[in-house]
Amino acid sequence: MNHSDQPLTTKFIDPLTDYGFRFYFASEPRKEILIEFLNDLFEGERYIEDLEYTPTEHDGDVPADKRVMFDLNCRGRNNEHFIIEMQRVRQEFFRDRALYYTSRLIQRLLSKGGESNQYELPAVYLIGVLEFRMDDNEKEQYFYDIALTDKITGKQFYNKLGFKFLELSNFVKEEHQLESYRDKWMYLLKHMHKMDRLPTFLDKRVFQKIFSIAEVSKLTTEERMAYEASLKAKWDTQNAFAYLEKKSREEEKRNIAREFKKLGVPIADIAKGTGLSIEEIEKL
């Protein structure tokens, strides 16, 4: 959908805009929201009591190293570190980038210890909120919980490095199908921009807190301008990506039609099979 066809803003701040993501999750006065979100993702694997926001920008130790920018970076009371990323469209080598981000943070944390033979590291986790499928052929799985494991035994080899990915494209559950608080967070992230009230099934205090601060009407003029710019940027990105996907599909159809023409398949049949017009096929 073209963003000009949408209302400029809806009632609540969209958490899947850059502004909204920072508004809910990257504010010291609201860090309870992030703590609850992480605890519901980890489901007892780790319990986060408190968080400290840490720098999101990291230079390399040598000039040749790339500078990295995290969407959100924080440290727990037990010195565990969390990188939280929101990714709107697929990027080539996304998995490589996720691993690179964690390795750069680990390198940075290790270098803080100075010259030492002690290699004990804090736990590092990357949480990715994704609006795309990492694998086009996988349309069922919507939550990935990645760890280093032994391929033979399936046992965990190292418990201080992990990746958790929420694939919102694959999350299609309805309200009555939500089985856990993790499901409820995913439903909220995906659908909040369309809501006009706090749903009764979001039955946790943190959700009440979110909706108590979420109304666009409560923003100052300056904040609203920043939010609307972020909203427009989201729509522009979605429209550009949809256009590229459409062009890619059209080119694929033309390639198929060319091959059928070479095989002598009647043009009328090619048109039925590809959806291209007879005129388009004749010009190929």
Percent with pLDDT over 70 in the chain: 90
Distance CA 190, CA 8 (A): 18
**Residue pLDDT, tens place only, 162-176:** 999 999 999 999 999
**Residue pLDDT, tens place only, 105-132:** 998 888 665 555 567 889 999 999 999 8
Residue type at 9 in one-letter notation: T
Do 200 and 265 sit in the same domain of this protein? no
Distance CA 234, CA 244 (A): 16
* Number of domains comprising the chain: 2
Nearest alpha carbon to residue 22 among 168, 225, 230, 220: 230
Q: Does residue 2 fall inside a structural domain?
A: no
Distance CA 162, CA 121 (A): 13
Q: What is the pLDDT of residue 2?
A: 47
Do 23 and 120 sit in the same domain of this protein? yes
Nearest alpha carbon to residue 25 among 57, 73, 87, 93: 73
3-state secondary structure of 231: helix
The residue range of the domain holding 77 is: 7-218
Do 39 and 178 sit in the same domain of this protein? yes
Q: What is the pLDDT of residue 251?
A: 82
Q: What is the pLDDT of residue 58?
A: 62
Distance CA 182, CA 205 (A): 15
Q: Does residue 23 fall inside a structural domain?
A: yes
Do 190 and 105 sit in the same domain of this protein? yes
Q: What is the pLDDT of residue 260?
A: 80
Which position has the token pair 């694939």? 167
**Residue pLDDT, tens place only, 223-282:** 999 999 999 988 887 787 777 777 777 888 888 888 888 877 778 777 877 878 888 888
Residue spans of alpha helices (H) in 214-266: 221-262
**Residue pLDDT, tens place only, 36-64:** 999 999 999 999 999 999 888 765 554 44
- Domain final residue, candidates 200, 218, 236: 218
- Domain final residue, candidates 172, 200, 218: 218
Q: Does residue 179 fall inside a structural domain?
A: yes
Do 200 and 230 sit in the same domain of this protein? no
**Residue pLDDT, tens place only, 130-158:** 998 998 888 899 999 999 999 999 999 99
Do 172 and 239 sit in the same domain of this protein? no
10 Å Cβ neighbour count for 182?
18
Distance CA 237, CA 89 (A): 8
CB of 39 closer than 8 Å to CB of 30: no
